[in-house]
Amino acid sequence: MGKVQLNFCQKGRVFMPELPEVETVVRGLSDQIAGKQIQMVQVRRHDLRYPVEANFDKIVQQQVVRSVSRRAKYILIHLSNGQTIIGHLGMSGRMVVTSNQTRPAKHDHVIWLFTDHTQLVFNDARRFGFVLLADSQVLHTHKIFRMLGPEPLTDEFNISYVIEHILNRKIPVKQWIMDNKNVVGIGNIYACEALFKAKILPDRKVSDLQKEEVSQLVHAIKEVLTAAICAGGSSLKDYVQTSGTLGYFQHQFMVYGRENELCFVCQTVIKRIKQSGRSSFYCDECQR
C-alpha cells in the first residue's frame, strides 16, 4: 500500500505548509490519485474555515480525478465533470492517501474513497484549512485567486516587477514579500530564510531597497523555495521507498527558530523581533 504520509517536522512537532510543502503534497497526490474514481465521500465536519457545501459528496462522487495542480498554496484537484476541488491546508492541514480499511482519526474531516480501495483523507486539527468546489471554467476568476500576485518561481516574478511594485510602499520588506497580492506562497519561515540569504534586515522599509538588494532578494526567494521543493521531493521519494517518516525539514534553517543560537556564517547571536504579530529571525551582522 503506497501510503503517502505528508508529515513535516520542525524540532519534532510542527507542521508548516508553505509553498514548497504544498508543492510536495501536490506532486505526491498527482502520483497517488490521478486517474482514480471517487466512489464515495464522507464529510465528517462541515465547519472548516469555509463551510463545506451541503451536497459536496453528491457532486463529487463517481467523478474521476483528472489531475492535481497548485496555485499559491491552494491544492487544485481537477475532476472529470469539469469541476475542481480547491483545498487549502491552512496551518495544520494534511492530505494523506491510505487504505480504505484505515479507521478515521481525530480531525479527519473529509475522506474521499476511491474504487481501488484507497482513500484520500483531509485532516486538519485547527480547521484553518478548507475544501471548496469551483467550476474549472471560471477557476482563474474565482474570488480566491483574483487578487493573487505572481508565482515566485516564474519569470513573471523578477527584478523589474518588484521595483515597480515597491514604489511608495512604507511597509517592512518582510511584510511585502509575505503579502499574497505582491507574490504568493512566501510564509513566515521562508520569508526569514530568504531575507537572510539576501542579506537584508526584515524591518527595512521596502521602498528603500536598492536595485542590487532587490536583485539579491528575488534570487534568494527563488533559491530558498527551489531548495525546499527539492528536499521535499527527495523525502517523498525516500518515504515511498522505505516507508519511513517523511520529515522534510531534515535540513537546518539558517535563522528560523534559532533565536539565541549562533549564526552559521559569522557566529553572531541570532535575534528575534515581532513584526505584525509574527516572529522574525535574523542575523544583524550578516543582514543590513
Partner DNA sequence: CCTTGAACCTGCGGGC
Partner DNA sequence: TGCCCGCAGGTTCAAG
Active-site annotation holds for 18: yes
Nearest to 95 by CA among 231, 230, 4: 4
**79 is a site residue for DNA (CB under 7 A):** no
**106 is a site residue for DNA (CB under 7 A):** yes
Give the per-residue contact string, 17-36, with DNA (x = CB under 7 A; - = no): xx------------------
Q: Are 142 and 201 in contact (CB under 8 A)?
A: no
Of residues 28 and 187, the one with the C-beta less far from DNA: 187
Considering only residues 146 through 185, tell me which ones interact with DNA, judged by CB under 7 A. 168-172, 175, 180
Q: How far apart are the first and last CA of the chain?
A: 51
**Is residue 166 packed enough to be buried (19+ CB in 10 Å), middle (13-18) or exposed (0-12)?**
buried
Of residues 127 and 219, the one with the C-beta less far from DNA: 127
Q: Are 77 and 38 in contact (CB under 8 A)?
A: no
Active-site annotation holds for 73: yes
**Is residue 107 packed enough to be buried (19+ CB in 10 Å), middle (13-18) or exposed (0-12)?**
middle
Helix (H) or strand (E) holding 6: none
**131 is a site residue for DNA (CB under 7 A):** no
**125 is a site residue for DNA (CB under 7 A):** yes
Q: Which position among 36, 73, 174, 258 bears the catalytic label?
A: 73
Site residues for DNA per CB under 7 A: 12-14, 16-18, 47, 49, 72-74, 88, 90-92, 106-107, 125-128, 144, 168-172, 175, 180, 187-189, 256, 276-279
